[in-house]
Chains A and B, each alone.
Chain A
Amino acid sequence: MNIKIVLYLLGKLSCFLGAFYTVPFLVSLYYGDEGRGIFPACIALCVLLGLLFTKYGHYNRYTELISNRDGILVTVLVWIMAAVLAAIPYAVSGRLDPVSAYFEAMSGLTTVGATVIADVEVWPKSLLFWRFWTHWLGGLGIIVIFLAILPTISGSAVHLFDAESTGFEEGKLKPKLKSTAQILFTIYVGITVLTAVLLLAVGLSPYDAICHAMTCIATGGFSNYNSSVAAFHNPWAELILGLCMFTAGGNFSLYYNVFRKGPNLLLHDDEFRTYAGFIVVIGTLITLNLYLSGFDGSLLHSFRVAFYQTTSFTSTTGTVSTDFEQWPAFSKLLLCLLYITGGCAGSTAGGVKMCRIVVLFRGLRVDILHMLHPKTIRRVHYNGKVIRGKTMHMILSFFTIYVFTIGVTSLIVAATGTDVLTALTASASCMSSAGPGFGSIIGATGTYAPLPLAAKFVLTWNMVMGRLELFVVLALLNRSFWRGNSRW
């Protein structure tokens, strides 16, 4: 295990974070709140740490290779260290204890959106901005890593984690890493700006508009109001945010290809169609359920809240436009289903991802056909390509591990003293990076604040695991990972 490389890369991260801290600092200057003292300290700390690490670490890009093992370690440590560094403002301001601060920071960076802040509205604006900023950066980081860095790296170099862990090769958009990253960055920023402008147009304040645009594009879920989006009482805002969430849950490399080749690609992409289809079907079911059970007034109102919440959950954002805790169990259970399915691959959404779900269903159909017609030869097709046995195996295993991990972590959370509903939905929600859970504690209007510290800590692991598609983090549990083995 090459500590020097790890140190070097972490040092670089630290420097980057220091740079990122400048923006909330500017915001704090604008609003003149307590951030003026906190953020400079954070900047200084990050930069110092970064310089320290890069001095003692060493990585020569042209002569050294990052081994598989180092790549995995770096990946996990990057998230953990970033969360620790991002937690500093919350802890230093005295408003959150260290564990809760870490939870909030991790929730921000992994775009989960689960909050431990009981009353958001009394917090200083710059600190709240930092929350949204972590969302936005985390989302951007995910997209760039998934779609730019990984496909470009070939050979025995960094497997920060295998793009093939999704079972699909996200094709290289452009030969050069830098060009791909630039394009993705442009799309990401473009959507953010567009959303913010539209929100301004329907009457939100600039601060609210920017923050909520950031949270939706990153499919995060934070808000600067306790009742989340419901506080606006603005159907147009909900529509815009809904569209933004819907877009954010789609595959960004698909968007780039659409930009180049035309919108037909959207209609033909299996994953996108399933993603949209899920939202339509489940949204309709919930609308009917709400309306027929006499719960939410007019059909239009039911439609509005149902579709917003469905989009929110499918894209694993987690902003809330109504107290869905009051909904009938049927609708709530449908929303729970969305914890598992998640959004599209190549987006900031979490969950098992639509592409895998599509393949799983098709595989099931082929399996049944095989049982009926044993001598038939049928292949599973996805987007025109054949899914090989090995890929199918990986996808099935992923589903299994995903479900198992939710099961095990929910047990651990329950062991810390929470009730069953909270334990189950909290671990599922954090794993799929959605955010809100169900039940009296972490429901639509609740927060994760009352949970025991141990539970919060376990849930941060859920967040990291969900973000990194499980395998990478679980690999750390392997004994052979830690043994000094020259074959690495």
Chain B
Amino acid sequence: MRDYPVLRLMGIVFLILTGGLCPSLLYALMNEPRMVLPFAGTALIGLSFSVYALKSTEYARRMRLSVRGGILFMGSAWFAMSLFCCLPYWTSGHYTLLQALFESASALTTTGTSCIPDDVPYPSSLLIWHEIIQWLGSMQAMVLFSVIMPRMGATAAAIFSAEGQGVSAERTLPQIHEIVRLLVMLYVGLTLFQTVCLILTGLDPLTSLRMAACTISSSGFIRDTNFLEEHNSIAMEVVIAFFMLVTATNYVLLFRLVQRRYSVFLHDSERKWYVAIVLITAVAVISNLQWNHVYDSFGQSVRYGLFQVISIFSTSGLASTDYTNWPPFVHMLLFYAAIIGGCSASTAGGIKISRLVVLTKICILEVKRVLHPKMVSSVIMSGKPVAQNTIIGVTRYLFVYVLLMLILTALYSLTGTGMIEALSTIVVFLNNVGPAYTVLGETSNFQNLSSFGYIVLYFAMIVGRIEIVSFVILLHPDFWKQRKGW
């Protein structure tokens, strides 16, 4: 199965990850000699693989990624990457293999939940590594979703009519490279921008940078989970909330904004719905908080409610306060927010706003059809009709998603949790949300799970990140057979 463009892409990805090892390696060299070997060893493995991959596919530089290649890549890359990234954890000797896998997958998929108990040592170099891979992993996901996935058909990215955004299968390779380069610059730029803003609010530069990386990657991992509560700074929360909102928007759209093509940005259906849904949910949450007198002042309800809503929609999972005791209605809203997620081609997880929009419009049309059986209709997004194939793909996605969620919940519950706990845990991991508190109001301790539990959640995280379909396809035996005509 020598698919050269895929191998090349893998090589590039691994090279990037190996590069990401450098800060940790440097830090280990300076402060933690015991961690030097794990990092150096991993770097060696990564370097040799990427060099091999890139060298042996030199001539494939001009080749385009086929549909099957794209599927193969998306389906296997994250598993491969998580295996690579877990090496420093595993070889450090502090954690079991499953814990290491879980931790690295959590970072890579930007879930952001840690399974390391507080009493087990967590070397700073590993912490740095964690934060770097979450930042890189998110960037890679976003780029891949913007560029590669549209070519695979009925994915979320395809729905915002990739054609309209100018990222389509017809584009030549150099132009794709250019777009990738610009998206990466946008990502890096946003991170730096947020860092500056956070510094302005009074945070020290290094922490600002780390907080920015954590926000822009929509992961939400901070070692000290009460960080925001302790700082109690409205300015900081506003900055973080703003950037969470931005990072969950379609990056290609943001890119158009930078290009000053404002009309595209303004007329995008997904963006409009995203803002509307977040606002409406926030209003509902705040009203319910007020109704139940959870906080003394309206301002506090707004502050905590709005932050939490934005956080869950962008699947970051940062918490500005302990929301375990909020009323059940709010918990349900957040539960659904986690499932919905952010916009397509962003760093967020979930079923994506674009799919939600299409599904809602389909529902409305079908109900209309009861009254007007002979109606001819189409679903319109951003002014352009959505292809019939895409519509079927989206509804099917919902079906697979619901099915997978129920199956994973049932499997996870075998570890001995209750119904709601299992459901909210799976939702948190499948959608890569991952705050310290699970969404449906019960705190969950991921620190001492059985092996089975770790495996289930590991799968949930990665499958959720790659939008399920790729994974489902990998399960089919036909995929692995050598066929002509690929």
Identity of the chain A residue whose Cβ is nearest the Cβ of B421 in the assembled complex: A329
Q: Tell me whether B414 is interfacial, beta carbon within 8 Å.
A: yes
Interface residue range, chain B: 35 or more
CA distance A367 to B472 in the complex (A): 11
Distance of A66 from chain B, by nearest CB (Å): 14
The 0/1 profile, CB within 8 Å of B marked 1, for residues 407-420 of chain A is: 10011001101111
Contact B476 A438 (CB under 8 A): no
Identity of the chain A residue whose Cβ is nearest the Cβ of B287 in the assembled complex: A415
CA distance A477 to B370 in the complex (A): 12
Contact B413 A333 (CB under 8 A): yes
The 0/1 profile, CB within 8 Å of A marked 1, for residues 398-414 of chain B is: 11101000100111011
Q: Tell me whether A334 is interfacial, beta carbon within 8 Å.
A: yes
Q: Tell me whether B391 is interfacial, beta carbon within 8 Å.
A: yes
Contact B420 A420 (CB under 8 A): yes
Identity of the chain A residue whose Cβ is nearest the Cβ of B402 in the assembled complex: A403
Q: Tell me whether B332 is interfacial, beta carbon within 8 Å.
A: yes
Contact A373 B483 (CB under 8 A): yes
Interface hit among A1-9, A238-246, A254-262, A467-475: A467-475
Contact B152 A397 (CB under 8 A): no
Identity of the chain A residue whose Cβ is nearest the Cβ of B356 in the assembled complex: A404
CA distance A68 to B68 in the complex (A): 47
Contact A400 B395 (CB under 8 A): yes
Q: Tell me whether A337 is interfacial, beta carbon within 8 Å.
A: yes
- Tell whether A404 pairs with B473 under 8 Å between CB atoms, given A396-B392, A472-B370: no
Q: Tell me whether A374 is interfacial, beta carbon within 8 Å.
A: yes
The 0/1 profile, CB within 8 Å of B marked 1, for residues 304-328 of chain A is: 0000000000000000000000001
Distance of A237 from chain B, by nearest CB (Å): 29
Contact A475 B370 (CB under 8 A): yes
CA distance A165 to B373 in the complex (A): 11
- Contact among A374, A410, A438 for B332, CB-based, below 8 A: A410
Q: Tell me whether A421 is interfacial, beta carbon within 8 Å.
A: yes
Query: Which residues of chain B from 53 to 82 have a CB within 8 Å of any chain A CB?
Result: 67-68, 71
The 0/1 profile, CB within 8 Å of B marked 1, for residues 160-193 of chain A is: 0110010000000000000000000000000000
CA distance A5 to B329 in the complex (A): 43
The residues of A that contact B153 with a CB separation of less than 8 Å are 371
The 0/1 profile, CB within 8 Å of B marked 1, for residues 269-281 of chain A is: 0000000000000
Contact B419 A332 (CB under 8 A): yes
Q: Tell me whether B128 is interfacial, beta carbon within 8 Å.
A: no
Instruction: Give the dominant DSSP class at B's interface.
Output: helix
Identity of the chain A residue whose Cβ is nearest the Cβ of B339 in the assembled complex: A407
Contact B370 A397 (CB under 8 A): no
Query: Which residues of chain A from 374 to 419 have a CB within 8 Å of any chain B CB?
Result: 374-375, 389, 392-394, 396-401, 403-404, 407, 410-411, 414-415, 417-419
Q: Tell me whether A372 is interfacial, beta carbon within 8 Å.
A: yes
- Contact among B360, B395, B396, B420 for A421, CB-based, below 8 A: B420
CA distance A371 to B333 in the complex (A): 35
Distance of B326 from chain A, by nearest CB (Å): 11
CA distance A410 to B288 in the complex (A): 16
- Tell whether A364 pairs with B396 under 8 Å between CB atoms, given A371-B67, A373-B478, A403-B402: yes
Contact A334 B410 (CB under 8 A): yes
- Tell whether A360 pairs with B332 under 8 Å between CB atoms, given A333-B410, A371-B473, A421-B419: no
Q: Tell me whether A69 is interfacial, beta carbon within 8 Å.
A: yes
The residues of B that contact A392 with a CB separation of less than 8 Å are 392
The residues of B that contact A481 with a CB separation of less than 8 Å are 371
Contact A475 B332 (CB under 8 A): no
Distance of B217 from chain A, by nearest CB (Å): 29
Contact A400 B410 (CB under 8 A): no
Q: Tell me whether B380 is interfacial, beta carbon within 8 Å.
A: no
Instruction: Give the dominant DSSP class at A's interface.
Output: helix
CA distance A414 to B418 in the complex (A): 19
Distance of A272 from chain B, by nearest CB (Å): 22
CA distance A282 to B65 in the complex (A): 42
Q: Tell me whether B465 is interfacial, beta carbon within 8 Å.
A: no
The residues of A that contact B332 with a CB separation of less than 8 Å are 410-411, 414, 420, 423-424
CA distance A368 to B402 in the complex (A): 17
The residues of A that contact B336 with a CB separation of less than 8 Å are 407, 411
Q: Tell me whether B441 is interfacial, beta carbon within 8 Å.
A: yes
The residues of B that contact A337 with a CB separation of less than 8 Å are 406, 410
CA distance A364 to B473 in the complex (A): 10
The residues of A that contact B366 with a CB separation of less than 8 Å are 394, 397-398, 401, 471
Q: Tell me whether B393 is interfacial, beta carbon within 8 Å.
A: yes
CA distance A419 to B327 in the complex (A): 8
The residues of B that contact A401 with a CB separation of less than 8 Å are 363, 366-367
Q: Tell me whether B41 is interfacial, beta carbon within 8 Å.
A: no
Identity of the chain B residue whose Cβ is nearest the Cβ of A365 in the assembled complex: B476
Q: Tell me whether B335 is interfacial, beta carbon within 8 Å.
A: yes
Q: Tell me whether B422 is interfacial, beta carbon within 8 Å.
A: yes
Identity of the chain B residue whose Cβ is nearest the Cβ of A474 in the assembled complex: B367
Q: Tell me whether B368 is interfacial, beta carbon within 8 Å.
A: yes
Contact A367 B402 (CB under 8 A): no
Distance of A355 from chain B, by nearest CB (Å): 15
The residues of B that contact A289 with a CB separation of less than 8 Å are 414
Contact A478 B371 (CB under 8 A): yes
- Contact among B388, B413, B476 for A329, CB-based, below 8 A: B413
Contact B398 A478 (CB under 8 A): no
Identity of the chain B residue whose Cβ is nearest the Cβ of A411 in the assembled complex: B332
Contact A372 B478 (CB under 8 A): yes
Identity of the chain B residue whose Cβ is nearest the Cβ of A395 in the assembled complex: B395
Contact B478 A333 (CB under 8 A): no
- Tell whether A364 pairs with B399 under 8 Å between CB atoms, given A337-B406, A400-B362, A411-B332: yes
Q: Tell me whether A63 is interfacial, beta carbon within 8 Å.
A: no
The residues of B that contact A438 with a CB separation of less than 8 Å are 419
Contact B367 A400 (CB under 8 A): no
Q: Tell me whether A145 is interfacial, beta carbon within 8 Å.
A: no
Distance of B203 from chain A, by nearest CB (Å): 36
- Tell whether A415 pairs with B329 under 8 Å between CB atoms, given A372-B476, A400-B395, A420-B335: yes
CA distance A407 to B440 in the complex (A): 15
Q: Which residues of A contact B (CB under 8 A)?
A: 68-69, 72, 161-162, 165, 289, 328-330, 332-334, 336-337, 340, 360, 363-364, 367-369, 371-375, 389, 392-394, 396-401, 403-404, 407, 410-411, 414-415, 417-421, 423-424, 438, 471-472, 474-475, 477-478, 480-481
15 residue pairs of the A-B complex, CB under 8 angstroms, read A162-B370, A328-B416, A336-B406, A364-B400, A371-B67, A375-B485, A389-B388, A396-B399, A400-B363, A404-B363, A414-B329, A420-B328, A474-B370, A475-B367, A481-B371
Q: Which 5 A-B pairs have the closest CB atoms?
A: A329-B413, A396-B395, A475-B370, A397-B366, A333-B410
Extra A-B contacts (19), CB below 8 Å, given A369-B478, A411-B333? A328-B416, A329-B413, A330-B414, A364-B400, A367-B393, A367-B396, A368-B473, A372-B479, A397-B395, A400-B395, A404-B360, A407-B336, A417-B329, A420-B328, A421-B419, A471-B366, A475-B367, A477-B367, A481-B371
